[in-house]
Homo-oligomer: A and B are copies of this chain.
Amino acid sequence: MKERPLPDRQRLILKEIVDRYIRLREPVSSRMILEDYGLSVSSATVRNDMNDLEASGYIEKPYSSSGRIPTKKGYRFFVDWLLDLSELTREERLEIVEAYETRCLDVSETIHQTAFLLENITGYAAFVIPPRLEETRLERVVLLKMAECLAFLVIISEIGVVEHGLVPLEEELSEEEIRGIMETINRSLRGANLEDVRMLATGEGPEGWYERPVRQAFLVLGHLLERRKERRVYIEGLLNLAADLQEMIPDKAMERFTRLGRALRDGATFAEAVDAARKGKDGIVVNVGDLPLPGFEEFSVVSCGYRPHSGFLGVIAPLWMDYGRAMSATSYIANRLETILLRSCVRSE
């Protein structure tokens, strides 16, 4: 794990190479570094250092006589040690805060909105992954009579409205009876985590225990939570990666783009990969091209957790992304979302 620390000048040169490559997207030559950076040594000296850096695996040459570009290891080192964080401007922060102003209490809605927000701010592809069902506790369900044989079921967790759907009833029930069902459900399930609720409601479960109308509500409850479990990922702005791919591999760009798209179509896989890569950390995590998913070899993922635990969000962008900006945007928005979710509890009293 512990690398021998780089000599000062080499650190400087590496930083310059990464900075410049991120800015201009072309191999950096020894002369370029001097021009930009007024180092008081000659280009040959720089070349020697670059040689060392290459030997240690931080940079590489696309071909034998070209300038250098950073390797993944180089980006990694850059992110860990050399990065200048660039805070969001006051205006940008304001924009984010305002975007949440008109929010309603629907969790999916909020999360979807967040994905858009993060996309707009960073210009990269953004994703938001809601807290796992396992980590979300049922506050209560609300069951309301809508028509003779139709009720409305709303699932409310500690962070707001999770899902809602219609419950067809086999016979007409009075409002009192429906309230009774609701209370039966709440009495037995309040405080349970939603994954347990789902399993209970979809599994063979305690069929005999309840009367038919309760079972009917249960069925829908399970159905809704199941749907929620599947639709776990909101990704926006995939199109932003198109131009990057074009630049990366002009002739295979399209193929790679579709591969990426397909990999992300099944959101759950992506969510799990990122979750695993975060290794349980809470705050900002940067994965430099090491997400074990097909098509992600040339992309970095910046992610940040938010409470309730197990929820996280972030951006997907090429290795040469502006890490500083992505990191501050991601953590700022994670923070806002967290605040919004925790504040907005829809409690019963």
- The reply to whether B245 and A254 contact each other, CB–CB distance below 8 Å, is yes
- Indicate if the CB atoms of A261 and B246 lie closer than 8 Å: no
Query: Does A148 lie at the interface of the complex (its beta carbon under 8 Å from any beta carbon of B)?
Result: yes
**A146: which of B144, B245, B254 is its contact (CB, 8 Å)?**
B144
A164 CB within 8 Å of chain B: yes
User: Does the CB pair A346–B254 fall under 8 Å?
Assistant: no
User: Which A residues from 172 to 198 make CB contacts under 8 A with B?
Assistant: none
Residues A164 and B166 in contact, CB atoms below 8 Å apart: no
- Interface of chain A residues 240 through 293 with chain B (CB within 8 A): 242-243, 245-246, 250-251, 253-255, 257-258, 261-262
Evaluate contact between A105 and B254: CB separation under 8 angstroms: no
Q: Hey, which chain B residues are within 8 Å of A146, CB to CB? A: 142, 144, 154, 346
Which chain A residues numbered 130 to 145 have a C-beta less than 8 Å away from chain B? 142, 144-145
Of B166, B239, B242, which is within 8 A of A106 by CB?
A: B166
A85 within 8 A of B: no
In the complex the two chains form, is A166's CB within 8 Å of B105's CB? yes
Give, as a whole number of angstroms, the nearest-CB distance from A245 to chain B.
Answer: 7
- Chain B residue at smallest Cβ distance from A239: B261
Q: Which of B104, B144, B147, B258 contacts A166 (CB 8 A)?
A: B104
B165 contacts A164, CB within 8 Å?
A: no
Contact with B along A323-349 (1 / 0, CB 8 A): 000000000000000000000001111
Is A152's beta carbon under 8 Å from chain B? yes
**Is B349 a contact partner of A148 (Cβ separation < 8 A)?**
yes
Question: In the bound complex, what is the Cα–Cα distance between A195 and B299 (angstroms)?
Answer: 45
Q: Does A150 contact B (CB under 8 A)?
A: yes
A161 in the interface (beta carbon within 8 A): yes
Which residues of B have CB within 8 Å of A142?
146, 152
Given A142-B152, A239-B262, A242-B254, 10 other A-B contacts at CB below 8 A? A104-B165, A104-B166, A106-B166, A144-B144, A144-B145, A152-B154, A243-B254, A250-B251, A253-B254, A257-B257
- A–B pairs, 23, beta carbons within 8 Å: A104-B166, A106-B165, A142-B152, A144-B144, A144-B145, A147-B346, A147-B347, A147-B348, A148-B349, A150-B346, A152-B152, A164-B164, A166-B346, A239-B261, A242-B254, A242-B257, A242-B261, A245-B254, A246-B254, A246-B255, A250-B251, A253-B254, A254-B254
